[in-house]
Every structure is written in structure tokens, then in C-alpha cells.
């Protein structure tokens, strides 16, 4: 099993966008999606949050704006029932340690708590369990709390990390997703397919093979996985977790040389699903993926 230092989407974004400059922004300003480094809903379901190089962009009540708080470069952004977790780099002039290591916010990203590994690690691939606050990361270099590279997880906000054997995985790892209720269950997307572990990433079984999986997310009832692929065209699929389950492809808008990079479900209105693409387009469905409305196109937000 090989662990890419940068997931597939980082290379694609670099090709598409080039190098972006960083400028400070004020909360409430109109949002432009320079990069997309994640996709999450607030616990009350009112806000769809997108982290990038310039802080958090928020879609709420049909309008986009910048969120309150510093315009940090968030990576590995993931939400739970009561907190946001992330990694990345501080905004210029903030005086904060670079990189962040693991950080946590209980106020929607206004302020952040350090959970260790600052100045040591930047976790581009990070997943949280919505109901348990278990955190899984891919570590690419040893640090003061992780003696080896590979998949690690914590149940106590980084006080103790456990390295997982990750046996059974094939291909190069692209993405992680943690089960919303069972901290032992985690999914991995690789260049070879979609894999599922029921023992904290110690071993994996192949759930759907023969395709490059670029993104995945558990639905919040913990019964199914949504995942994206690309083989000449973009696809979004859904599969149950029981042995022998077959994937169902869902209709999505045509994407030109693009694919689904992040998937999120609204915890308050669970028929609402959102996805963001590598080229910074964002789509919203209110009927579990039957029909879609575009709310951002190529980084330009739409209202």
C-alpha cells in the first residue's frame, strides 16, 4: 500500500489553478472559491462550509459569504456533531505555528484549539466520526507522537495516536471517511477501489473494485457509503455496507474533465446532499441526489 504525500485532488488543483496568492479578508465579504479543501455542514444544517487557502466560505440561506475568523489555509477539514477539526497553515501575520498539526473549533471556526503536532505535521487527508469524534489521518513523516508513516487514529483529541496496520489495501490512497457512529469503521478510497475496515483500519476488505475512488462519505445513518470515481467521465455512486452489496450510480450534472472531490450530507435535513468538484464547482440536491442545483461554477459563487 502506498501513501501519496499529496492526494490526487491536490495535483489536479495545482494543474487547474496554478499558484494562488494569499490576501486577508473580512468576515461577511463575498466569497470566491480559490481552492476547495473540504466540504462540511454545520451541526444545525444551516451552513455549508468550504475551507480553502483564504479561510472558510459559507453558503447559508441561498447566499455565499466569508465566515468569521482568521483566513487560515485549512487542510483536511472535517466536521463532527459538536466540533470542526482541521490541519493546514496559519494566515500571514497571525503569528501562529506553521503547520498547525491538528486543531479543533467548537464555535464554527471563529477560534481554534491546538491539539498537538504544531510545526510538525500538515494532514491533507483527515476524517472524523460525526458522532464519536474519532479522528483518522494519513501521516507522511514520523513526528513526536507518530513513530511511523501511515494511517493513524485518535479517540482523545490527539493525546494518544495509534498506528493502524492497514493490511489488505491495494493501490495508492486518495481519501478517508470515518463511520458516524462506530469509531472502528473506516473507509478508504484508492486507485484500485473502495475499501472498508471494521477494526480501526487494521485490515480492509474490498467493497467496490476496479476503479479509482476519489472521494467518499458515509451517510449519517451509517448504512451506506457515497463515493466518486472517474474513468473517462465523473460518476457518483452509493453502496451498502453489508457483504455482497452492489453499488448504485446516481445521476449527476455533466462535468467536463472534472470529478467529485468532496461529498457532504446535511445533518438536519438528511435528504440534502452536496458535492464539490476538483475545478471548484459546487452542487446541491434536496432529494438525495435525484436532482441537482449548481451553487458555484469554476470557483465563482452563484446566488
Question: If pLDDT is split at 50, 70 and 90, which confidence band does 1 have?
Answer: low
pTM, full prediction? 0.90
Which pLDDT does position 133 carry in this prediction? 87
Q: Are the CB atoms for 68 and 79 separated by under 8 Å?
A: no
Q: Are the CB atoms for 23 and 64 separated by under 8 Å?
A: no
Which residue is listed with cell 486543531? 103
Q: Are the CB atoms for 41 and 265 separated by under 8 Å?
A: yes
Rounded Cα distance, 75 and 73, in Å: 7
Q: Are the CB atoms for 265 and 220 separated by under 8 Å?
A: yes
Determine whether 141 is exposed, middle or buried from the number of CB atoms within 10 Å of its CB (0-12, 13-18, 19+): exposed
Which helix or strand (DSSP H or E) is residue 163 part of? strand 162-163
pLDDT above 60 (res 12): no
pLDDT above 50 (res 20): no
Lowest average pLDDT, out of 3-7, 97-101, 192-196, 296-300, goes to: 3-7
pLDDT above 50 (res 26): no
Question: What are the tens digits of pLDDT across the range 277-291?
Answer: 999 999 999 999 999
Cα 30 to Cα 39, 46, 68, 179, 300, distances in angstroms: 18, 18, 12, 34, 10
Helix ranges, 90-163 (H): none
Question: What are the tens digits of pLDDT across the range 119-170?
Answer: 999 999 999 999 998 999 999 999 999 999 999 999 999 999 999 999 999 9
Amino acid at each position: 500500500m502506498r501513501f501519496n504525500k499529496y492526494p490526487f485532488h491536490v495535483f489536479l488543483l495545482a494543474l487547474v489553478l496554478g499558484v494562488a496568492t494569499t490576501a486577508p479578508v473580512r468576515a461577511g465579504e463575498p466569497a470566491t472559491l480559490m481552492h476547495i479543501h473540504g466540504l462540511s455542514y454545520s451541526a444545525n444544517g444551516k451552513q455549508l462550509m468550504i475551507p480553502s487557502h483564504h479561510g472558510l466560505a459559507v453558503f447559508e440561506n441561498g447566499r455565499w459569504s466569508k465566515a468569521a475568523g482568521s483566513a487560515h489555509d485549512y487542510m483536511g477539514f472535517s466536521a463532527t456533531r459538536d466540533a470542526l477539526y482541521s490541519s493546514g497553515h496559519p494566515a500571514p501575520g497571525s503569528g501562529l505555528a506553521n503547520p498547525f498539526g491538528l486543531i479543533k473549533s467548537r464555535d464554527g471556526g471563529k477560534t481554534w484549539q491546538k491539539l498537538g503536532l504544531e510545526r510538525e505535521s500538515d494532514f491533507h487527508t483527515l476524517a472524523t466520526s460525526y458522532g464519536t469524534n474519532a479522528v483518522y489521518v494519513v501521516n507522511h513523516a514520523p513526528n513526536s507522537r507518530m513513530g511511523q508513516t501511515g494511517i493513524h487514529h485518535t479517540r482523545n483529541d490527539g493525546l494518544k495516536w495509534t498506528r493502524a496496520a492497514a493490511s489488505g489495501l491495494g493501490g495508492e490512497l486518495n481519501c478517508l471517511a470515518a463511520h458516524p457512529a462506530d469509531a472502528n469503521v473506516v473507509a478508504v478510497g484508492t486507485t484500485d477501489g473502495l475499501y472498508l475496515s471494521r477494526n480501526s483500519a487494521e485490515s480492509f476488505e474490498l467493497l467496490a473494485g476496479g476503479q479509482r475512488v476519489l472521494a467518499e462519505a458515509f451517510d449519517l445513518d451509517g448504512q451506506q457509503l457515497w463515493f466518486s470515481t472517474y474513468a473517462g467521465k465523473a460518476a457518483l455512486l452509493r453502496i451498502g455496507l453489508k457483504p455482497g452489496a452492489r453499488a448504485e450510480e446516481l445521476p449527476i450534472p455533466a462535468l467536463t474533465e472534472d470529478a467529485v472531490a468532496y461529498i457532504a450530507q446535511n445533518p438536519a435535513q438528511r435528504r440534502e446532499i452536496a458535492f464539490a468538484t476538483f475545478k471548484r464547482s459546487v452542487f446541491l440536491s434536496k432529494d438525495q441526489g435525484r436532482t441537482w442545483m449548481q451553487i458555484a461554477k469554476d470557483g465563482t459563487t452563484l446566488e
